[in-house]
């Protein structure tokens, strides 16, 4: 028994102020194992009562909270076991400052990820625009959000971007969005015919919704043209560039058939001879 006590009380000394005994190490391992078991049981009890989407959100937040608890338990157990935790922090102050600076953005991402999950500003499947980049959200993790662009490129977005940049969620109010195509016609054109042809170009496209109906707006008397905007509704704004391209082809075809010209800027150059 005496030998066992001697073994348990044996201390590993790293300096005059920092040492840890075998007993403290064993207690630390035991406490961490018990904490791990209790956390797993708690997670199982909570997950059973959640929907699938909520399960994914809970897993993300739970993993972060678990690490915080492990760190707290680790330091608390060392302190109660007689280990001078303050001396450890003092000895590694320079290292901790460097690590803290390096992890600053990392923790910003994590905190932002928790905010995103809690306030539900972004969901999987949403189409978002951030820093002029557009993508469909495929996965929301604690530190990053994974989105796929229209050309099937993976976009990895650090979560702190949501707090520092303006985020446009195209589909938060629903999957339908209003898109538009702008065109200019020459002065003297039959404007009622122009309006009729623009609406025809939209109504004949299979992906354009009939409700709400397409709309033609007379935007301005431009320097070189009369400017119009054709507004229509799509059910998949992520692929908006394809219907927009199709409608431009159709407008060009209809305008040619009805002799409506699309002007371009012209400038008169006067050469002065001395």
Q: Does residue 203 fall inside a structural domain?
A: yes
> If DSSP codes are grouped into helix, strand and coil, which group holds residue 37?
helix
- Residue 202 CB partners (closer than 8 Å, separation 6+): 208, 214, 230, 232, 247
The helix or strand, by DSSP H or E, that contains position 162, with its residue range, turns out to be helix 161-164
Q: Closest Cα partner for 78 from 15, 38, 32, 10?
A: 32
Higher pLDDT pick, 64 / 92: 64
Count: domains in the chain? 3
Do 209 and 165 belong together in one domain?
A: no
Q: Which band of pLDDT confidence, cut at 50, 70 and 90, is reported for residue 94?
A: low
Assess whether pLDDT exceeds 70 at residue 10: no
List, for residues 175-232, the tens digit of each pLDDT value.
Answer: 788 889 999 999 999 999 999 999 999 999 999 998 889 999 999 998 889 999 999 9
Give me the mean pLDDT over the 119-134 stretch.
Answer: 81
| 32 and 74 belong to one structural domain | yes
- Count CB atoms within 10 A of the CB of residue 65: 12
pLDDT at 195: 95
Q: Note down the domain range covering 146.
A: 121-169
Residue 138 predicted with pLDDT over 80: yes
Residue 126: which CATH number?
A: 2.30.30.60
Is residue 263 domain-resident? no
Q: Are residues 64 and 138 in the same domain?
A: no
Residue 175 DSSP class: S
User: Does residue 53 or residue 263 have the better pLDDT?
Assistant: 263
Give the lowest-confidence range in 73-82, 128-137, 176-185.
73-82
pLDDT attached to residue 103? 62
């Amino acid at each position: 028994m005496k030998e066992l006590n001697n073994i348990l009380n044996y201390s590993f000394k790293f300096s005059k102020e920092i040492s840890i005994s075998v007993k403290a190490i064993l207690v630390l391992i035991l406490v961490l194992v018990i904490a791990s078991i209790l956390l797993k049981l708690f997670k199982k009890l909570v997950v059973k009562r959640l929907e699938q989407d909520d399960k994914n959100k809970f897993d993300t937040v739970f993993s972060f909270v678990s690490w915080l608890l492990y760190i707290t338990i680790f330091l608390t157990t060392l302190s109660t076991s007689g280990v001078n935790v303050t001396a450890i922090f003092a000895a590694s102050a320079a290292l901790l400052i460097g690590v803290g600076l390096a992890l600053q953005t990392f923790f910003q991402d994590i905190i932002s990820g928790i905010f995103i999950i809690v306030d539900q500003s972004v969901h999987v499947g949403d189409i978002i625009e951030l820093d002029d980049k557009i993508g469909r959200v495929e996965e929301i993790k604690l530190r990053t959000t994974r989105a796929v662009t229209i050309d099937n490129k993976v976009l990895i977005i650090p979560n702190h971007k949501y707090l520092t940049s303006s985020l446009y969620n195209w589909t938060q109010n629903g999957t339908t969005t209003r898109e538009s195509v702008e065109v200019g016609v020459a002065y003297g054109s039959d404007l009622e015919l122009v309006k009729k042809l623009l609406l025809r170009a939209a109504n004949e496209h299979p992906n354009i919704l009939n409700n709400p109906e397409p709309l033609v707006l007379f935007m301005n008397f431009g320097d070189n043209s009369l400017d119009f905007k054709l507004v229509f509704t799509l059910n998949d704004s992520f692929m908006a560039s394809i219907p927009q391209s199709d409608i431009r082809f159709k407008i060009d075809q209809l305008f040619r058939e009805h002799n409506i010209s699309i002007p371009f800027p012209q400038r008169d150059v006067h050469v002065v001879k001395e």
